[in-house]
Amino acid sequence: MRDTDTKDLELTRTLAAPGEPFVWLTAMGLALGLIMVVGLLGVIVANGLPVFWPSKIVEVHLKPGVKNPLPNSGGTLTGEIVQTREKRIPVLSATGDKIEDQTEVQIFVGNKDVNGSGFVFLNNSDIASISEPRGIYRLERMEYGIAFAYPKSLQLADGTSLPADSPAFTQTLTRLDAESAARRREIEKIEKHDIGAINSRITQLRAKGKGSPESLKEIAALDADYQLLAAKARELRAIQSAAALIYTTPNGIERRLPVGELVAFTLPNTLVFNQKLGLFFHNIWNFLTLDPREANTEGGIFPAIFGTFVMTLLMSLAVVPFGVVAAIYLREYAKQGLAVRAVRIAVNNLAGVPSIVFGVFGLGFFVYFVGASIDSTFFGEYLPTPTFGTGGILWAAATLALMTVPVVIVATEEALAAVPRGMREGSLSCGASKWQTIQRIILPASLPGILTGLILAMARGAGEVAPLMLVGVVKLAPSLPIDGAFPFVHLERKFMHLGFHIYDLGFQSPDSEAAKPMVFATTLLLILLVVVLNLAAILIREKLRKRYATGAF
Amino acid sequence: MPPVLSKPTEQPMETTVNTTAEGRPDFISIRDFSFFYGKKQALFDISLDIPERQVTAFIGPSGCGKSTLLRNLNRMNDLIDGIRHSGDIVVNGRSIYDPHIEVISLRKRVGMVFQKSNPFPKSIYENVVYPLRVSGQNKKSVLDETVERSLQGAALWDEVKDRLHESGLSLSGGQMQRLCIARAIANRPEILLMDEPCSALDPIATVKVEELIRELKQEFTIVIVTHNMQQATRCSDRTAFFYLGKLVEFDETPKIFSNPAQKQTEDYITGRFG
């Protein structure tokens, strides 16, 4: 008797969990999923975040006899070490071919105006030594990207010159940089905002005024305004290039950089940890808030963040009412029969249609049919320039809404079906009509489920790229879909999108090496944006769940 | 106006609280009523007169059709697909199947309390005034007055008067059931249907609800479905015994329980089957 008892106990203690082998199978499935998610995030974070961390500038001395990939540089080259990687090369020899492993170093040498290319690869075996020059500057320029430079002097606007070794040099350069940044903002405000407003008004007058004397008069007045503003912008631009920084590149070429072309400068090799940390967050901030420069490889990605956000929001606004109304009809009003089952199957299948198909449909239906009809009805005077008859954020949102509507319908139907029957009967027995019951009892109780559908729809919609390329996303949008110009929300405008931005950086960029870190940083941001949008919806859902919890017993 | 359609919302309460007068003996008159769920017949030629302002209990084993009959009195069965009936149910002299009667206005006259309490996920206050709100009554003074009257009527006022704006789901099981009763009587219906209202309650809550039923019959015609024989003796005036969809016996409650005319009734109440 006692023997069997201990035997039973031992059995339950074994790792194999008798009778429950599927515990291990299911746990393995989950573990695999978690590893993949963590791995993905890890790769993105590890590649994305270092972009913002200021790295040191090194001077690489090559072994004698090794050919320098940079012109006129002698035996040294200067830049930031990006990565070291292994490569295998076959070596042919008389004694027999063999495979040899070598290490190569990728160095970002910048100074694209002098060097032609921004990156070079060196075999580790060709490097004699590496040193860190202290006085080297890292200059971020409006054009040609980063320059590594030894400053020589500052040419001031009054013609005097301030040598780099004078004590006031750094201070003066900082001041000039701040001033030029302020002027750059002013120029941008004049050119983009003020002149933009005048231009759109003139376009409007030309289209609508049809050459009437009043419109011509107003156009003349606006033209005078434009001349004034343009003159002011020209004047500011002249000031921008009055003062200049004279520097020599590491290979000894002297260059003149007008302060207006200088975005920021740092001395990476003299930075201490706190300064680096400050710069790290400063870089992240710039990345989040600035417009892109240099074919999107430099600057920030604010327009893409904003475009993604606005488009997802518009899509949610379109998809929720549409999906919920359809689901209410299917679940509450339609007589459950063959026809409804067919519709349900069709809706579920719609969720499996490739997204590019929706893109093609959006282009054909929304852009070419609906948009063109709107144009010929309301914007006939602007034709042949299309207003709504071309891709835009409205059509992109509508296309994605169409793509994600099955998700919302299915989720809403489930939520409606989950409302306890007692609650329906209670409402009807109080003399409520069917619609009153739906509106006052069933919809509020199924809101959390509806929001689950919205969360799934947003997650799918925000990350979609392929259909957007057909219906309104662009590499560089001149203006945001929401801005200060009347009527503030411009649904017809083309927009930038993080997903497309990633594709564009990775595959369409003129310098894909330079864009690679930006790809990861943008990916990280896209994931963060989706997480933030989802978290917001989840928070609302939890709040509603508490409010409409239906645990009567 | 036809009698079933005349809404007493505007009438002063006193007209219905006429406890001394005898009510109509055939306030609800069920005539040769048969009912089918698809092909399955659930009720067979039921004929039965339910008197006004009395408690009538429906008893019988599970599946005998008593709930089906009760749910026909406010046409709650209309929600089910494939139902069919023959015969008629007449309330206060007018058929509830009269095509001129809106089922909504019928339900406004017939309150219902369910087996499982089903408060809405709203505040106690909003639960009680729900029948008024759906009738378009949004005047605060009327609503306030209704909440106090109904909750007092359901013997819940003293327990919840300080937390009317808390969720109705925060109450205990017995309180929730009384909240549902308060909701059912908020619009002053003429008839109150109760479908095993105490089956999910503990004995103390059951006693409270039973006391309440005895109170409420002063004002309402009550039809109660119950599995609990003691409950039927305690609070009903007349009892109908159903078996396999047929009405076996219908008489004064004391008579049914002391001296039933039918053998089946006797077997059931003495616990020999069911």
Q: What is the CA radius of gyration of chain A?
A: 31
| pLDDT for res A359 | 93
CA distance A26 to A90: 46
Q: Which residue, A132, A163, A181, sits at the end of a domain?
A: A132
Residues of A whose CB is below 8 A from B116: 422, 552-553
CB contact, 8 Å: A279 with chain B?
no
CB contact, 8 Å: B80 with chain A?
no
Q: What percent of chain A has pLDDT over 90?
A: 17
CB contact, 8 Å: B104 with chain A?
yes
Return residues 23-52 of B near A (CB < 8 Å): none
Read out DSSP for A271-323?
--HHHHHHHHHHHHHHHHHSPEETTTTEE--HHHHHHHHHHHHHHHHHHHHHH
Task: Report the gap between the CA of B155 and the closest CA in chain A (Å).
Answer: 20
The answer to whether B114 contacts A422, with C-beta atoms less than 8 Å apart, is yes
Residues of B whose CB is below 8 A from A550: 121, 169
Residue B94's CB is within 10 A of a number of other CB atoms, namely: 16
Q: Is residue B63 part of a domain?
A: yes
Tell me which residue has tokens 């309440």.
Answer: B212
- pLDDT tens, residue by residue, B113-137: 998 888 888 889 999 999 999 988 8
In the numeric block, which tokens belong to residue A45? 């974070």
State which H helix or E strand residue B261 sits in. none
Tell me which residue has tokens 């219908």.
Answer: B250
State the pLDDT confidence band at B3, using cuts at 50, 70 and 90.
very low
State the pLDDT confidence band at A12, using cuts at 50, 70 and 90.
low
Nearest CA in chain A to B200: A553
Nearest CA in chain A to B109: A431
| Residue A515 near residue A506 (C-beta atoms within 8 A) | yes
Nearest CA in chain A to B7: A431
- pLDDT tens, residue by residue, B248-258: 999 999 998 88
B56 pLDDT more than 90 = yes
CA distance A371 to A489: 17
Task: Report the gap between the CA of B8 and the closest CA in chain A (Å).
Answer: 14
| Residue A396 near residue A311 (C-beta atoms within 8 A) | yes
CB contact, 8 Å: B134 with chain A?
yes
Q: Which residue, A107, A132, A157, sits at the end of a domain?
A: A132
Nearest CA in chain B to A430: B131
The answer to whether B169 contacts A549, with C-beta atoms less than 8 Å apart, is yes
A16 pLDDT more than 70 = no
Residues of B whose CB is below 8 A from A336: 81
For residues B162-180, average pLDDT? 88
| pLDDT for res A66 | 82
The answer to whether A427 contacts B130, with C-beta atoms less than 8 Å apart, is yes
A214 pLDDT more than 90 = no
| pLDDT for res B102 | 84
State the pLDDT confidence band at A325, using cuts at 50, 70 and 90.
very high
Global confidence as pTM: 0.79
CB contact, 8 Å: A335 with chain B?
yes
A552 pLDDT more than 60 = no
Q: Which residues contact B103 (CB under 8 A, 6 or more apart)?
A: B75, B78
Nearest CA in chain A to B127: A427
Across all residues in chain B, what is the average pLDDT?
84
The answer to whether A548 contacts B121, with C-beta atoms less than 8 Å apart, is yes
Q: Is residue A77 part of a domain?
A: yes
Q: Is A141 helix (H, G, I), strand (E, B) or coil?
A: strand
A218 pLDDT more than 90 = no
For chain B, the first-to-last Cα distance in angstroms comes to 45
A461 pLDDT more than 50 = yes
State the pLDDT confidence band at A9, using cuts at 50, 70 and 90.
low
Q: Is residue B9 part of a domain?
A: no
State the pLDDT confidence band at A221, using cuts at 50, 70 and 90.
confident
For residues B225-229, average pLDDT? 88
Q: Which residue, A97, A132, A167, sits at the end of a domain?
A: A132
* CATH number of the domain residue A325 falls in: 1.10.3720.10
Which residue range(s) make up the domain with B226? 28-269
The length of chain A in residues reads: 553
Q: Is residue B223 part of a domain?
A: yes
Q: Is residue B5 part of a domain?
A: no
Mutate to test the interface with A, among B122, B129, B130, B196 (most CBs of A within 10 A): B130
Q: Is B250 helix (H, G, I), strand (E, B) or coil?
A: strand
Mutate to test the interface with A, among B112, B128, B134 (most CBs of A within 10 A): B134
Residues of B whose CB is below 8 A from A547: 121, 167
Task: Report the gap between the CA of A325 and the closest CA in chain B (Å).
Answer: 21
The answer to whether B134 contacts A445, with C-beta atoms less than 8 Å apart, is no
CB contact, 8 Å: A432 with chain B?
yes
In the numeric block, which tokens belong to residue B138? 């949004």
| Residue A502 near residue A523 (C-beta atoms within 8 A) | yes
CA distance B182 to B160: 12
The answer to whether B79 contacts A422, with C-beta atoms less than 8 Å apart, is no
In the numeric block, which tokens belong to residue A21? 């082998």
The answer to whether A430 contacts B200, with C-beta atoms less than 8 Å apart, is no
CA distance A118 to A294: 13
Q: Is residue A33 part of a domain?
A: no
Nearest CA in chain B to A432: B134
| pLDDT for res A402 | 92
| pLDDT for res B225 | 93
| pLDDT for res B101 | 82
In the numeric block, which tokens belong to residue B52? 């006004």
| pLDDT for res B58 | 92
A485 pLDDT more than 80 = no
For residues A140-159, average pLDDT? 86
CB contact, 8 Å: B116 with chain A?
yes
The answer to whether A425 contacts B119, with C-beta atoms less than 8 Å apart, is no
Of A430, A441, A551, the CB nearest to B131: A430
Q: Is residue B100 part of a domain?
A: yes
Looking at residue A148, what DSSP letter applies?
E
One-letter identity of residue A428 = L
| Residue B225 near residue B67 (C-beta atoms within 8 A) | yes
Residues of A whose CB is below 8 A from B120: 423, 426-427, 441
- pLDDT tens, residue by residue, A19-64: 677 888 889 999 999 999 999 999 988 888 888 888 889 988 888 8
CA distance A157 to A244: 8
Q: Is residue B204 part of a domain?
A: yes
In the numeric block, which tokens belong to residue A84? 């070291």
For residues B19-47, average pLDDT? 82
| pLDDT for res A549 | 60
Q: Is residue A224 part of a domain?
A: no
Q: Is A400 helix (H, G, I), strand (E, B) or coil?
A: helix
| pLDDT for res B17 | 40
CB contact, 8 Å: A2 with chain B?
no
Residue of higher predicted confidence among B118 and A488: B118
Of B76, B167, B169, the CB nearest to A425: B76
State the pLDDT confidence band at B19, using cuts at 50, 70 and 90.
very low
CB contact, 8 Å: A338 with chain B?
no
Q: Is residue A432 part of a domain?
A: yes
- pLDDT tens, residue by residue, A338-357: 999 999 999 989 888 999 99
State the pLDDT confidence band at B12, using cuts at 50, 70 and 90.
very low
A76 pLDDT more than 80 = yes
Of B117, B176, B183, the CB nearest to A430: B183
State the pLDDT confidence band at A361, using cuts at 50, 70 and 90.
very high
CB contact, 8 Å: B205 with chain A?
no
In the numeric block, which tokens belong to residue A304? 């893409």
Q: Is residue B232 part of a domain?
A: yes
For residues A207-228, average pLDDT? 81
State the pLDDT confidence band at B206, using cuts at 50, 70 and 90.
confident
Of B81, B116, B187, the CB nearest to A552: B116
Q: Is residue A365 part of a domain?
A: yes
Q: Is residue A231 part of a domain?
A: no
For residues A362-371, average pLDDT? 90
CA distance A531 to A461: 13
CB contact, 8 Å: A336 with chain B?
yes
The answer to whether A441 contacts B184, with C-beta atoms less than 8 Å apart, is no
| pLDDT for res A285 | 92
B169 pLDDT more than 90 = no
Mutate to test the interface with B, among A340, A423, A430, A437 (most CBs of B within 10 A): A430
Which residue range(s) make up the domain with A97? 58-132
Across all residues in chain A, what is the average pLDDT?
85
The answer to whether B134 contacts A440, with C-beta atoms less than 8 Å apart, is yes
For residues B191-216, average pLDDT? 85
* CATH number of the domain residue B150 falls in: 3.40.50.300
B14 pLDDT more than 50 = no
Total domain count, chain A: 2
The answer to whether B107 contacts A430, with C-beta atoms less than 8 Å apart, is yes
- pLDDT tens, residue by residue, A162-204: 888 888 888 888 888 888 888 888 888 888 778 888 888 888 7
| Residue A374 near residue A388 (C-beta atoms within 8 A) | yes
CA distance B195 to B201: 13
CA distance A477 to B232: 78
| pLDDT for res A200 | 80
| pLDDT for res B33 | 92
| Residue A433 near residue A468 (C-beta atoms within 8 A) | no
| pLDDT for res A38 | 95
Q: Which residues contact A377 (CB under 8 A, 6 or more apart)?
A: none
CA-to-CA dists, residue A83 to A39, A178, A513, angstroms: 20, 33, 12
- pLDDT tens, residue by residue, A384-440: 777 787 888 999 999 999 999 999 999 999 999 988 888 889 999 988 888 999 999
Total domain count, chain B: 1
Residues of A whose CB is below 8 A from B68: none
